[in-house]
Amino acid sequence: MAIIGHTAKTAKSAQLVIALLVLLKSLSAQSAESELEAIQDSVIKIYTTQAAPDYFTPWRLLTPRQSSGSGSVIAGNRILTNAHVVANASYVQAQKHNDPKRYLARVVFVSHDADLALITVDEEGFFNDLEPLALGELPEPQREVSVFGYPMGGKSLSITKGILSRVEQQIYAHAGAYLLAGQIDAAINPGNSGGPVIVDREIIGVVMQANSGGRSENLGYFVPPSIIAHVLADAEDGSNEGFPDLGFRTQTLDSPAAKSAYGLTKEQDGVLVIKVFEDSPAFGLVEENDVIVSIDDFPIAEDGSIRLSDEIQTDYKHAIDLHLVGDSVALSLIRNGHPLDVTLEAREALDSYSLVMGERFDSAPEYLIYGGVLFVPLNMNLIKRWGNDWSRSAPVNLLQARNEWSSPQRRQLVVALQVLAADVNLGYHDWRNWIVDQVNGVPIRDFNDFAERLASNTQANVVFENSNGYQMIINHAAAKASEQEILSRYQIPASSSAELRWSALEE
C-alpha cells in the first residue's frame, strides 16, 4: 500500500510540474506576442512620390515615380527611416500598422551619407498609441535578429529572422559613403528599406539599400547603432554637419620593408599618410610619410583595421566617424622613426577631396549653356546617369577623373556635356562628354569660376581647351546673339541654373 501511495503522489507531482510548464510556456508565448504587437505598432509604412533631376538635361525632372519603404517610431514623435526612401521626394505619407489611412508626413532631417532620415506627422493624435522604440547596443556576430518592414509583394507587415553574420566598413549604396555596416542573412527586399532590425525590443540597426540592382535576395545590410546615434546627435540642432574628415589619405603598411623604411619596428603597426589636403584639419600637423599608429584609444593594425570587440574588426576610419564636428581627435604618429602625438579638430568635410563631386540629392543640378554648348560640373549624379552599370558604360575620361585629388587651385571639373546644334557651334556638333581644363588659356578652379569667366569675358572669341590641347572656339558676340533662338528651339527655360543667379549672355 505504501508503494501504491508513493506512486500516486509521484504521478500527481509530475502532473503538477507538467501543468506548471504548460502555464509558463503559455505566459511566455503571451508575453512574446504582447512584445511583438508593441513592436509591430511602432513600425510604419512610408509612401513617397519622387522626381529626381535629369542630369543629361538638367533643366528637367525625370518621370515621377511612386515607391514605398519602412520606418520605426522613436522618441520625439519622429519616424526613423532611410534617406533614399525620401530622397528627391515631393510628397510623403505615413501609414500605421493595421490602419488603412495614410497621413501626410514631412521630412525633418536627412543624412544622405548614413542613408538615414527622420520624418514626422503633424496630424494631432498620430503618435498617441505608438510606443517609441529605443536604440540598443550592437550585438556580437552570430546573434539572431528580427527584421520588420513592408517588403514588395503585399501590404501587411513582414517579420523575418536571421543571423548577424559580420560587421565591417561597407560602401553605402545610396550616397557612396564608407561607413560601418552590419550584414545579416535575413530576407531583405525592396520595401524593407528603413525598417528596424530588432533585438530585445530595441533597434540595433536600420535596414539599408543593398548593391543588388533592386533584385530580391537573402542577404542584406543595416546601419548599426553607432552610426544611428551619430546622426541623431547631429540632428539635435537641425543642421546636418555630417561625418568629419580630417583631410588625409593613407595606405596600409603590411610590407616589412615599408615598415622599416618609415622607422617602425617589427612590433609596430600603422598606416602610411600619402596625402594631406590644404585647408583641412590635418594640414600643418600631419605630414606625408607620417605613420599613424593609433587614433584615440584604437591601435591601428598593419592592414588598417581597429578592433571594436573580440569579434569585430573594421577600418580605422570608424574611429573618426565616431566623432561629431567640433570634437578633438587624438593621433599617435611615427615621423622619421620618432613618436609624436597630435590633436586635430574634427571639422566638416570639404565638398569633395576628389575632383569628382559626390552624389547630391534634394537639389537642382547646376548647368550653363553658352553658344549652344551645355556645360555642367562633373559629379557622381552625372556619372550614375549612365545607368546601374555606370562603372562600365560611363565615358572613360569621366570615370578616370575620380582618381584625381582636388586642391585650392582646382576644386571641380567642368564638362562640355553636349552641343545643341546651331550655326554658332558649327564644327563641334558631335563633341560631347569633354572635360574643359582652361578658358582663354587660364586654368579653371571650379564651376562658379568658369561661369564668372564667361560673364566677364571681353575677348572676341572664347577658347575652351582640354588637357590634351584640343580646343573649342566660340565667337562671343555670336553666342550672345543666338542665345534666345537656341533656347526656344530646344525648349529650354533658361540659359543657366538658378544657383548661378545670372545669365552669362546678359548685357
Q: Which residues are part of the catalytic machinery?
A: 84, 115, 193
DSSP result, 360-404:
--SSPPP-EEETTEEEEE-BHHHHHTT-TTHHHHS-HHHHHGGGS
Q: What is the CA radius of gyration of the chain?
A: 29
- 3 state DSSP class of 229: helix
Distance separating alpha carbons of residues 359 and 377, to the nearest angstrom = 12
Q: Are 142 and 164 in contact (CB under 8 A)?
A: yes
Q: Are 192 and 339 in contact (CB under 8 A)?
A: no
Closest-CA residue to 105 (of 79, 72, 131)? 79
Distance separating alpha carbons of residues 414 and 173, to the nearest angstrom = 25
Neighbours of 153 (CB within 10 A): 10
Backbone angles phi, psi at 445, to 5 degrees: -85, -50
Distance separating alpha carbons of residues 176 and 359, to the nearest angstrom = 8
Closest-CA residue to 368 (of 436, 427, 423, 426)? 436
- Cα torsion at 309, 310, 314, 317 (round to 10°)? 40
Distance separating alpha carbons of residues 507 and 503, to the nearest angstrom = 9
331: which residues sit within 8 A by CB, 6+ positions away?
Answer: 286, 292, 294, 295, 341, 342, 343, 344
Query: For residue 86, what is its C-alpha cell?
Result: 525620401
- How many degrees, rounded to 5, is the angle at CA 57 between CA 55 and CA 63? 80
Distance separating alpha carbons of residues 331 and 341, to the nearest angstrom = 6
Within its chain, how far is the Cα of 270 from the centroid?
27
